[in-house]
Amino acid sequence: MEGKDDFKARIKAFAESQGYSIKALQDELGLSNAHFQNAKSVTPRVGKMIKARFPYANIEWLNTGMGNMLLNDGDDVNLGTITVPLLPVYAQAGVLTDFVGSVRDYDCERIISPIKDVTLAMRVTGDSMSPEYPNGSIVLLQRIDDKAFIEWGCTFVLDTVNGAVIKKVYPDPDDPDRVICRSVNPAYGEFEVRKSDIYSWFIVRMQMSSK
């Protein structure tokens, strides 16, 4: 007979597939720290919260293990209705500034994403990433595990001790504990950030400009 440990193992597997720990997933959903530790299944209320944040999540799999963890495009997911939270803060394309790290999903406006598997959206401010990421544009971001394979040379939003910054990121050949951040606009110089000063890594999967 299946028990609480089986359910918790599936929740853990789902959380990790989306780049979260169980605690981070609970925080993302606005649940208490011990919610999934004590739960034996996904209740209808929590199921709605999960589906609002992860439309492709298979609640039946979470509860019973039947089927696939994630729904296929042809199941009951309409890509045109996938929404992600638009954070009420900005990714700085110029200099590092204060970042509100405690923003909750329920504090955010939600926008429709034309692509799957993105975690959140942010607006860009400043012109150091122009013309590729102009001031005021919205970037769709996917959270990644900083211990996973890093797609060097791609554009990331880094949530750092000094704020959120959007830059192209490269390894530092002289110091494996640092990364080099470069702008698209040649008028801006590069700078380095210690990996230990980065809370979260978000790779930019798409840019949407306001017309």
- Nearest-CA neighbor of 8 among 49, 65, 72? 65
Of the chain, the end-to-end C-alpha distance in Å amounts to 56
- CA 51 vs CA 40, 46, 96, 98: distances in Å: 18, 9, 34, 31
Q: What is the pLDDT of residue 180?
A: 97
**83-92 vs 109-112, strand pairing mode:** antiparallel
Tens digits of per-residue pLDDT, 130-150? 988 889 889 999 888 766 678
pLDDT at residue 210 is higher than 50? yes
Q: What is the pLDDT of residue 148?
A: 66
Q: What is the pLDDT of residue 74?
A: 42
Q: What is the DSSP string of 20-70?
A: --HHHHHHHHT--TTHHHH-SS--HHHHHHHHHH-TTB-HHHHHH--S-SB
Q: What is the pLDDT of residue 2?
A: 52
Contacts of 51 (CB under 8 A, 6+ apart): 57, 59
User: For all residues of the chain together, what is the average pLDDT?
Assistant: 81
Which residue carries 């640092």 as its tokens?
178
Cβ–Cβ under 8 Å, residues 192 and 101: no
What domains lie within the chain, and their CATH numbers? 4-77 (1.10.260), 80-208 (2.10.109.10)
Please, what is the Cα angle at 206 between 121 and 195, to 5 degrees? 70
Q: What is the pLDDT of residue 63?
A: 92
pTM (2 decimals)?
0.58
Tens digits of per-residue pLDDT, 15-57? 887 777 888 888 888 899 889 988 999 999 999 888 877 777 8
Better pLDDT: 87 or 161 = 161
Please, what is the Cα angle at 128 between 126 and 133, to 5 degrees? 80
Q: What is the pLDDT of residue 100?
A: 40
Tens digits of per-residue pLDDT, 168-192? 999 999 999 999 999 999 999 999 9
Percent with pLDDT over 90 in the chain: 34
Tens digits of per-residue pLDDT, 94-119? 433 334 444 455 456 777 777 778 88
The model's confidence at residue 211, banded by pLDDT at 50, 70 and 90, is very low
State phi, psi for 25 to the nearest 5 degrees.
Answer: -65, -45
Distance CA 19, CA 73 (A): 21
State phi, psi for 201 to the nearest 5 degrees.
Answer: -115, 130
